[in-house]
């Protein structure tokens, strides 16, 4: 019997057939509300051992779909499979991403849902994993991980505030998909570290692990020739060049793509490679505070003290600042397609702003409010301005001048109620840049935050 809404669970196996079998069976038995999708990077053990087993699990109805890439494309399998399963993910309240080398206990999914449903400050909840069984390659990491769990467990919360990586990591679908889109738009390939930092610095939320449900990692106890995590540890987590002759794989080449096949129990369907655009960002893996995107998002530097709200594509040739682009088309909320130099563009769909940006700007400009084509964007423009501006900041703009110099035009007076609904004071005229105003020319106005926006 199926209980409650379905949760897509995207599982990423690699190479060790026995660990994959144990893990898949434990996950299938831990809850009856999961839709399991197995996404595999091809290895030297796929054809003989892994593919026949997973095919059988699909035919048995345990797994919904099996996605098999023709080559090992590392973490990009996650990015590409999320895009391929976007419809299933977007229609669900939650989604799980996980390595397929874990033993999972019943009760995990219910604990994770309860945590995410009650604590909005979290954007992810992973499974606590017991490090006691990890092999020699991970001895130091295991001791450190045990100490972290012991220390964080002292915090009086139903969860442990600790990053888990992709160990049965559960997300709200409405938060994960925008993170994926924003990362892709900026050339950031989807790793657990990238997801974690987008969540922390962009959504202003944190990652947690379960307090009561504890699982096991099967491959961290294996020798180098069998355990992919052990292979990475033995190489000091360094980049390993692809070499078909010795079977070693490129662990951190995040521009790799591949075609492959999908099996749904009835038939196999092939798919073509989907190249990434733009190319992967080259970054220093050890110094996230020096990463240009995250640094600019997490600090209110003066060059971003002004935000410009526009319903037309912003011209990036003028002044430094954040350009907020309101669009009717379906774009990822809060996605950033261009972030360089002293200017930035922010796509804002009909969604709340990322908390990281709220109250960040001393000046917000809404110059296009009174163009005829902007009428349908006016309410969103004012509300976005109110969210972006600091409590002691100012919202400025220009409006068509009235017939008399120094008198507010009728069009500005008529919008006072709209400003108030957005939580802004009635607009007042102020001197222009030259301190003068001509009859018939545009006039400058400003307004200030006075309260929270009224309910839409």
DSSP string, 138-186: GHHHHHHHHHHHHHHTTS-SSEE-----SSSEEEEHHHHHHHHHHHHHT
Q: What is the pLDDT of residue 97?
A: 98
User: Mean pLDDT across the chain, nearest whole number?
Assistant: 80
For residue 49 the two structure tokens come to: 């051992």
Convert the pLDDT of each residue in 89-128 to its tens digit: 999 999 999 999 999 999 999 999 999 999 999 999 999 9
Q: CA 20 to CA 377: how far, in whole Å?
A: 51
- The secondary element (H helix, E strand) that includes residue 213 is strand 206-217
Name the pLDDT band for 248 (thresholds 50, 70, 90): very low
Q: In 331-391, which residue ranges form alpha helices assigned H by DSSP?
A: 378-388
CA gap 406, 431 in Å, rounded:
9
The tally of CA atoms less than 13 A away on the side-chain side of residue 217 is 26
pLDDT of residue 440: 46
Among 4, 169, 168, 6, smallest CA distance to 88 is for 6
Which of 35-39, 430-434, 451-455 has the weakest average pLDDT? Answer: 430-434
Burial (0-12, 13-18, 19+ Cβ within 10 Å), 121? exposed
Report the Cα–Cα distance between both ends of the chain, in Å, rounded. Answer: 40
d(C-alpha 123, C-alpha 172), whole Å = 7
155-159-164-170 Cα dihedral, nearest 10 degrees: -160
The residues, ordered by sequence, that sit 6+ positions from 86 with a Cβ below 8 Å of its Cβ are 177
User: What angle, rounded to 10 degrees, do the helices at 76-84 and 173-185 form?
Assistant: 120
Would you say residue 230 has pLDDT above 60?
no
Predicted confidence (pLDDT) at residue 233 exceeds the cutoff of 70: no
Give the Cα separation of 48 and 63 in Å (integer): 19
Q: What is the CATH number of domain 289-447?
A: 3.40.50
> Per DSSP, what are the bridge partners of residue 8?
35
Q: Of 46-60, 132-146, 221-235, 438-452, which one has max mean pLDDT?
A: 46-60
Read off the pLDDT of residues 317-350 as tens digits, 9 standing for 90 and up.
Answer: 567 777 777 765 544 444 454 444 566 666 665 5
Is the four-CA dihedral 161, 165, 170, 176 of positive or negative sign? positive
Q: Quote the DSSP letter at residue 280.
A: P
Distance of CA 107 to the CA centre of its chain: 26
What does the pLDDT read at residue 438? Answer: 44
The pLDDT, as a whole number, for residue 242 is 39
Asked if the model's pLDDT at residue 231 lies above 90, the reply is no
348 touches 310 (CB < 8 A):
no
Ranking 124-128, 213-217, 218-222, 389-393 by mean pLDDT, the lowest is 218-222
CA 302 to CA 74: how far, in whole Å?
39
d(CA 184, CA 190): 8
| 72 vs 186: which has the higher pLDDT | 72
Task: Locate the domains of the chain by residue range.
Answer: 7-271, 289-447
Measured distance CA(100)–CA(24) in Å, rounded: 7
Written out in words, the top-level CATH class of the domain with range 7-271 is alpha beta
Alpha helices in 292-401 (DSSP H): 292-298, 378-388
Q: pLDDT for 280-317, tens place per residue?
A: 766 544 344 444 555 555 554 445 678 888 877 666 55
- DSSP tag of 50: I
**pLDDT for residue 69 is more than 70:** yes
- Determine what percent of the chain is predicted with pLDDT higher than 90: 43
Q: How many angstroms separate the CA atoms of 400 and 409, rounded?
A: 7
Q: How far is CA 282 from CA 78, 189, 240, 449, in A?
A: 19, 10, 16, 40
């Amino acid at each position: 019997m199926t209980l409650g809404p379905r949760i897509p669970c995207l599982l990423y196996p690699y190479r060790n057939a026995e660990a994959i079998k144990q893990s898949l069976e434990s996950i299938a038995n831990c809850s009856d509300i999961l839709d399991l999708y197995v996404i595999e990077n091809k290895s030297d053990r796929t054809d003989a051992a892994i593919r026949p087993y997973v095919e059988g699990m699909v035919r048995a109805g345990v797994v919904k779909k099996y996605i098999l890439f023709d080559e090992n494309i590392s973490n990009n399998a996650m990015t590409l499979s999320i895009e391929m399963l976007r419809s299933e993910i977007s229609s669900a309240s939650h989604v799980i991403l996980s390595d397929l080398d874990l033993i999972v206990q019943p009760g995990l999914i219910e604990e994770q849902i309860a945590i995410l449903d009650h604590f909005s400050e979290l954007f992810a909840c992973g499974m606590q994993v017991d490090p006691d069984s990890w092999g020699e390659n991970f001895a130091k990491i295991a001791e450190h991980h045990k100490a972290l769990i012991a220390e964080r467990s002292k915090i009086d919360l139903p969860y442990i505030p600790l990053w888990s990586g992709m160990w049965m990591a559960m997300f709200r679908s409405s938060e994960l998909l925008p993170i994926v889109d924003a990362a892709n738009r900026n050339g950031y390939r989807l790793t657990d570290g990238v997801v974690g930092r987008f969540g922390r610095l962009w959504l202003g939320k944190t990652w947690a692990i379960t307090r009561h449900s504890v699982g096991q990692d099967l491959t961290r106890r294996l020798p180098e020739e069998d355990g992919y995590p052990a292979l990475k540890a033995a190489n000091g987590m360094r980049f390993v060049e692809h070499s078909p002759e010795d079977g070693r794989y490129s662990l951190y080449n995040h521009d790799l793509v591949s075609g492959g096949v999908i099996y749904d129990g009835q038939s196999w369907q092939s798919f073509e490679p989907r190249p990434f655009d733009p190319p992967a960002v080259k970054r220093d893996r050890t110094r996230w505070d020096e990463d240009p995107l995250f640094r600019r998002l997490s600090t209110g530097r003066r060059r971003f003290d002004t935000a410009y709200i526009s319903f037309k594509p912003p011209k990036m040739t003028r002044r430094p600042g954040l350009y907020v682009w309101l669009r009717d088309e379906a774009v990822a909320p809060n996605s950033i397609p261009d972030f360089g130099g002293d200017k930035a563009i922010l796509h804002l769909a009909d969604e709340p702003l990322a908390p990281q940006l709220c109250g960040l700007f001393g000046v917000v400009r809404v110059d296009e409010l009174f163009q005829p084509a902007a009428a349908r964007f006016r309410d969103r423009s004012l509300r976005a301005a109110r969210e972006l501006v600091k409590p002691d900041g100012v919202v400025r703009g220009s409006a068509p001048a009235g017939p008399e110099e120094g008198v507010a035009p009728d069009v500005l007076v008529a919008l006072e109620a709209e400003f108030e609904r957005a939580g802004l004071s009635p607009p007042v005229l102020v001197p222009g840049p030259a301190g003068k105003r001509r009859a018939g020319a545009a006039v400058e106005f400003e307004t200030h935050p006075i309260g929270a926006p009224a309910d839409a």
